[in-house]
Chain A
Amino acid sequence: MALLDFLKKIEPDKKKSPFLHTLYDGFFTFAYTPNTVTSDGVHIRDGMDLKRTMVMVVLAMQLCYIFGSYNIGHQHFVAIGENTGLLEGFLLKIVYGLVKILPIFLVTHIVGLGIEFFYAAKKGHAIEEGFLVSGALIPLIMPPDIPLWILALSVTFAVIIGKEAFGGTGMNILNIALLARVFVFFAYPTTISGDEVWVAGLEACSGGAAVDYGFIETSIINPLFGWLGMSGFNEAATVVDGYTGATPLGLASKGGWDAVTAVYSTDQMWWGAIPGSIGETCKPFIIAGALLLVTIGIASWRVMLSMLMGAAFMAFALNLWGATPFMEVPWMYQFYMGSFFFAMAFMATDPVTAASTNTGKWIYGFLIGMVGMIVRVMNPAYPEGWMLAILFMNVFAPLIDHYVLESNINKRLKRA
């Protein structure tokens, strides 16, 4: 209890310094659940609150963070033809990944939480937990080499326009994390699409291009690893001949499934040792997170299952059509490529932006699956669709709910 006494002693005055008090309150309620008691209504409350809900989602993403850090390094070394085995240079790969991912994580949270704190103090309410999840999701859906200023700009846009403008946590129409990504996508398309951006630390994705190491790699990590007797980064390395950095989807949109399997094996795609956004490549770990969320009852299994069904249905229908090589990719192999599972587990299930009725969730998920697959296969410019499909259906979710509620109302009217 000594800590509690200390924390109570340093509590800033609410009137004199509202911002400090809001900040203090945010951190204090993290350390201790408040001592408020029920009044007016139920006398006991469930142990579940929004903090716990949000933290559970963040926990479910942790495997993606671990694998994402490793994969940034792994893809980098594959490109320069060093340590190409999965476990070769494991430590170096992780360290390289952390060098890339930590700044992204920090910038996301400093910018996002800063805005959150500012608005909480300004409006005089407690800091809400919404950004916990958004802030954990954003680094996972960005390319590893994203310039930090673009990231900061996109987070600012997403939090202010996407959330605070609508009234804060629980009021937003569009998924915050996806809004940040779509901002980069439309404002700075060269940093988030094409073949060049998915592998970190290269001058260019073509044979003979030089590596691009910064101060941390050359002046901190290399001496450290040298001192420990391990090999560090090779500053003279160049990209191996014939390397393109293309993602499976990029290949599939040009040459169908044959073009994909010429470069990547199905195992490789399933386990995630491929270029892509930081957290979306490793399917088993994402599915593990999804299963955790479904088991503890936080994410909606209805949305996940119906989205899976919608995507499978559409992929199958496109198989039957078969007008382009991409359409002919066997429907189940569509799930090996791209970020379907990540979008399903963590993006579509956001309760605030998804349909809020159980019937609505079935429709919402199914339509995301269908629309996303259509965008992926038929969009000539960009071979992936989940971001756009989810944002699109976010806008339609209230309409779906409206009709579900209308049918409930009509049932009641008919009964009378």
Chain B
Amino acid sequence: MGLILVAAIILLAAVSLVGESLLGIEAKQTGADKSGNNYSIFPSFATNSTGADLPEFASKGTSTVLKKGFDIMLEGDAAKELVELPSSTFAVQPPNFLGISPIPKVEVVAGDEVKAGDIIFYDKKRPEVKYVAPVSGEVVAVNRGAKRSIAEVVILGDKEMKYRTYEAFDFATASREDLVNYLASSGVWPMIRQRPYDVVPNLDDIPKNIFISTFDTAPLAPDLNFVVQGREVAFQKGLDVLNKLTEGKVHLGLNGKEKPAAAFIDAQGVELNWFSGPHPAGNVGVQIHHTDPINAGDKVWVLGVQEVITLGALFTEGRFNAERVVALTGAELKKPTYVKTYLGANIENFVKDNLTNDHVRIVAGDVLSGKQKTAQGFLDFYTDQITVLEEGDEYEMFGWLVPTSSKPSVSNTFPTSALFPDIKYKANTNTRGERRAFVVTGQYEKVLPMDIYPQHLMKAIMANDFERMEGLGLYELSEEDLALCEFTCTSKMPLQKILREGLNTMRDQG
């Protein structure tokens, strides 16, 4: 008798579960789920357990609740204070810009004096797009990398900044073409990146839409509400400029969990899209996927908040203002904080006398998709964060079985991460195991809030199957979107690298 009862309950549960998922899918497909409303059989249950309703400040615009994802909790959040740490040197690094030729035409030689906004180099394939100096000063070196490629042009910054003067630009009478040419010649054009591929867009392309994410959910990422402070006017101006560049809309992705700065909520002339959920909810790629996804042949543009500010400042201040607020983060920094500096600043001054020990890795960007740097290296063009974490080159006895040190994990096999999700960890760079073939399935889908099958996409890339790559949504992804999948990967696969290979293949195909 008891068994019949148990079986009946299981069957009932199963039926309602399937019904629930089907309803959810239906709601998504018909677009009814946009508002974050609950269309399941037990709405009250879901609302209470996940907090599906967005708070009041998110009343304007569309909203999406994302359940998949994972917040990696790390020690070393930057304190909300702005420190001025003058760097002596700055660099423009051609390798920061994907897809340009490895030996661009450098317009300066060592010893030249440049002003902020003066042309440093241009790509021979696209000579109209100028890449300019972020600061004024003396060019001290043009360093070359492998095969005589230009690695960096180093400028010794002036104490008193001098700016290149621009002709005033008349918004009212100018055409879109005039505007594009003005942006390209003034040096702010590279602030814009095109999806797919994450490259600087062509001048004659008209984007379907332009997307800006106003919050970053990556581990220890800077709080952009803090970053935008005092520069609201330039930000709004930047949005106005972008509005002239697209025939579609300018979409702003806002954080539905915490009240964003007024500059974001009250932004004019843009569509507000609220997103609430764990990382990667703040990734612009995820936001595009849920707003107006990229189809084959589409081109959309994306910008970071500080890039929009530099773009706007060209019009509000009439100069190339490459000021950057950078978050210094990580457990191995004595004093994690925000610093005010300029694009391409030398990292040494930020970490000098600030490290807890010598055995560390310095990353420009976050721990998931940043680039490893030496202390003498420079900030990358699109990064606004430095993370310092411990190198993990040590053996751990039975490390795979009994964790002797706590480590962040998506897996419930680690009791600390399963039971206490708010604990912060001091992660290091150990690989935590060896590379294997794909074995476990479904783990990427758990942390990627997109309708994409990452493992099958990876296999399509490895097999060079163009049709599949395109069909499975390669164009919608950028490295940062798959970074969390790579973190969780049981087989320790290099997903971001594979993805970039796929993107490069497709770009070469045209």
Query: Any chain B CB within 8 A of the CB of A412?
Result: yes
Q: Flag if A37 contacts B391 (CB, 8 Å).
A: yes
Q: Flag if B472 contacts A409 (CB, 8 Å).
A: yes
Q: Flag if B436 contacts A42 (CB, 8 Å).
A: no
Q: Flag if A44 contacts B445 (CB, 8 Å).
A: no
A-chain residues with CB within 8 Å of residue B411 when the two chains form the complex:
46-48, 52, 296-297
Shortest beta-carbon distance, A9 to chain B, in Å?
A: 14
Residue ID in chain A nearest B413 by CB atoms: A296
Query: Any chain A CB within 8 A of the CB of B471?
Result: yes
Interface string of B168-192 (1 = CB under 8 A from A): 0000000000000000000000000
B-chain residues with CB within 8 Å of residue A296 when the two chains form the complex:
411-413, 418
B-chain residues with CB within 8 Å of residue A405 when the two chains form the complex:
453, 456, 468, 471-472
Give bound CA distance, A196 to B17, whole Å: 44
The residue that B367 contacts in the complex, of A30, A39, A44, A312, with Cβ under 8 A, is A44
Give bound CA distance, A411 to B476, whole Å: 14
Shortest beta-carbon distance, A243 to chain B, in Å?
A: 28
Q: Which of B52-60, B293-301, B334-342 contacts A (4 or more CB under 8 A)?
A: B293-301
Interface string of B250-294 (1 = CB under 8 A from A): 000000000000000000000000000000000000000000010
Q: Flag if A170 contacts B491 (CB, 8 Å).
A: yes
B-chain residues with CB within 8 Å of residue A358 when the two chains form the complex:
442, 445
Given A31-B397, A309-B11, A412-B295, CB of A46 within 8 Å of CB of B434: no
Interface string of B403-430 (1 = CB under 8 A from A): 1000111111110001000000001111
Among A42, A52, A53, A401, find the residue whose CB has the most chain B CB atoms closer than 10 A: A42
Query: Any chain A CB within 8 A of the CB of B32?
Result: no
Given A33-B396, A170-B437, CB of A44 within 8 Å of CB of B408: yes
Residue ID in chain A nearest B369 by CB atoms: A42
Give bound CA distance, A167 to B456, whole Å: 18
B-chain residues with CB within 8 Å of residue A56 when the two chains form the complex:
413
Query: Any chain B CB within 8 A of the CB of A36?
Result: yes
Query: Any chain B CB within 8 A of the CB of A361?
Result: yes
Query: Any chain A CB within 8 A of the CB of B233?
Result: no
Give bound CA distance, A39 to B363, whole Å: 11
Query: Any chain A CB within 8 A of the CB of B510?
Result: no
B-chain residues with CB within 8 Å of residue A308 when the two chains form the complex:
10, 14
CB proximity to B under 8 Å, residues A321-361? 332, 335, 351-352, 354, 356-358, 361
Query: Any chain B CB within 8 A of the CB of A87?
Result: no
B-chain residues with CB within 8 Å of residue A30 when the two chains form the complex:
398, 400
A-chain residues with CB within 8 Å of residue B297 when the two chains form the complex:
416
Q: Flag if A49 contacts B434 (CB, 8 Å).
A: yes
B-chain residues with CB within 8 Å of residue A39 when the two chains form the complex:
372
A-chain residues with CB within 8 Å of residue B489 when the two chains form the complex:
45-46
CB proximity to A under 8 Å, residues B362-407? 363, 367-370, 372, 387, 389, 391-401, 403, 407
Query: Any chain A CB within 8 A of the CB of B488?
Result: yes
Q: Flag if A43 contacts B488 (CB, 8 Å).
A: no
Q: Flag if B430 contacts A33 (CB, 8 Å).
A: yes
Q: Flag if B389 contacts A45 (CB, 8 Å).
A: no
Q: Flag if B497 contacts A40 (CB, 8 Å).
A: yes
Give bound CA distance, A4 to B397, whole Å: 9
Q: Flag if B438 contacts A47 (CB, 8 Å).
A: no
B-chain residues with CB within 8 Å of residue A49 when the two chains form the complex:
400, 432-434, 436, 490, 492
Q: Flag if B486 contacts A41 (CB, 8 Å).
A: yes
Query: Any chain B CB within 8 A of the CB of A51?
Result: yes
The residue that A36 contacts in the complex, of B434, B441, B456, with Cβ under 8 A, is B434
Give bound CA distance, A181 to B479, whole Å: 44
CB proximity to A under 8 Å, residues B2-26? 3-4, 7, 10-11, 14, 17
Q: Flag if A44 contacts B72 (CB, 8 Å).
A: yes
Among A41, A50, A361, A408, find the residue whose CB has the most chain B CB atoms closer than 10 A: A41
Q: Flag if B430 contacts A37 (CB, 8 Å).
A: yes
Q: Flag if B434 contacts A126 (CB, 8 Å).
A: yes
Query: Any chain B CB within 8 A of the CB of A83?
Result: no
Q: Flag if A48 contacts B441 (CB, 8 Å).
A: no
Query: Any chain B CB within 8 A of the CB of A168?
Result: yes
A-chain residues with CB within 8 Å of residue B442 when the two chains form the complex:
300, 351, 356-358, 361
Query: Any chain A CB within 8 A of the CB of B99?
Result: no
Interface string of B14-54 (1 = CB under 8 A from A): 10010000000000000000000000000000000000000
A-chain residues with CB within 8 Å of residue B63 when the two chains form the complex:
none
Residue ID in chain B nearest A40 by CB atoms: B497
A-chain residues with CB within 8 Å of residue B490 when the two chains form the complex:
46, 48-50, 53
Query: Any chain A CB within 8 A of the CB of B228?
Result: no
Interface string of B475-503 (1 = CB under 8 A from A): 00000000100111111101111000000
Query: Any chain B CB within 8 A of the CB of A413?
Result: yes
Give bound CA distance, A38 to B361, whole Å: 11
A-chain residues with CB within 8 Å of residue B367 when the two chains form the complex:
42-44
Query: Any chain A CB within 8 A of the CB of B161?
Result: no
Q: Flag if B491 contacts A332 (CB, 8 Å).
A: no
Residue ID in chain B nearest A404 by CB atoms: B453
A-chain residues with CB within 8 Å of residue B434 when the two chains form the complex:
29, 34, 36, 49-50, 126
CB proximity to B under 8 Å, residues A52-88? 52-53, 55-56
Given A33-B396, A41-B494, CB of A332 within 8 Å of CB of B430: no
A-chain residues with CB within 8 Å of residue B146 when the two chains form the complex:
none
Given A45-B431, A45-B432, A332-B4, CB of A33 within 8 Å of CB of B399: yes
Given A41-B496, A297-B411, CB of A408 within 8 Å of CB of B451: yes
B-chain residues with CB within 8 Å of residue A29 when the two chains form the complex:
434
The residue that B368 contacts in the complex, of A43, A167, A332, A354, with Cβ under 8 A, is A43
Interface string of B56-85 (1 = CB under 8 A from A): 000000000000000010000000000000
Residue ID in chain B nearest A38 by CB atoms: B429
Query: Any chain B CB within 8 A of the CB of A128?
Result: yes
Q: Flag if B401 contacts A52 (CB, 8 Å).
A: yes
The residue that B483 contacts in the complex, of A42, A46, A354, with Cβ under 8 A, is A42
The residue that B473 contacts in the complex, of A37, A309, A335, A412, with Cβ under 8 A, is A412
Give bound CA distance, A170 to B455, whole Å: 13
Q: Flag if B439 contacts A413 (CB, 8 Å).
A: no
CB proximity to A under 8 Å, residues B84-129? none
Q: Flag if A35 contacts B394 (CB, 8 Å).
A: yes
Query: Any chain B CB within 8 A of the CB of A15?
Result: no
A-chain residues with CB within 8 Å of residue B491 when the two chains form the complex:
50, 170
Q: Flag if A35 contacts B433 (CB, 8 Å).
A: no
Q: Flag if B372 contacts A43 (CB, 8 Å).
A: yes
CB proximity to B under 8 Å, residues A368-416? 401, 405, 408-409, 411-413, 415-416
Query: Any chain B CB within 8 A of the CB of A171?
Result: yes
Q: Flag if A415 contacts B392 (CB, 8 Å).
A: no
Q: Flag if B414 contacts A47 (CB, 8 Å).
A: yes
The residue that B393 contacts in the complex, of A35, A167, A361, with Cβ under 8 A, is A35
Query: Any chain B CB within 8 A of the CB of A298?
Result: yes
Query: Any chain B CB within 8 A of the CB of A231?
Result: no
Among B363, B395, B489, find the residue whose CB has the most chain A CB atoms closer than 10 A: B395
Residue ID in chain B nearest A54 by CB atoms: B439
Residue ID in chain A nearest B467 by CB atoms: A409
* Chain A to chain B: the 8 pairs with minimum beta-carbon distance, closest first: A49-B433, A33-B399, A170-B437, A409-B471, A416-B295, A356-B441, A32-B395, A47-B407
30 contacts between A and B (CB under 8 A): A32-B396, A37-B393, A41-B483, A42-B486, A43-B370, A43-B387, A44-B367, A44-B389, A44-B408, A45-B487, A46-B410, A46-B411, A46-B432, A47-B403, A48-B411, A49-B436, A50-B440, A51-B400, A53-B490, A56-B413, A170-B437, A170-B438, A312-B7, A312-B11, A351-B440, A351-B441, A356-B441, A408-B451, A408-B452, A412-B295
Given contacts A44-B487, A416-B298, 12 further A-B contacts (CB under 8 A): A46-B488, A47-B408, A48-B432, A50-B491, A300-B442, A305-B17, A357-B456, A405-B453, A405-B468, A408-B453, A409-B471, A412-B472
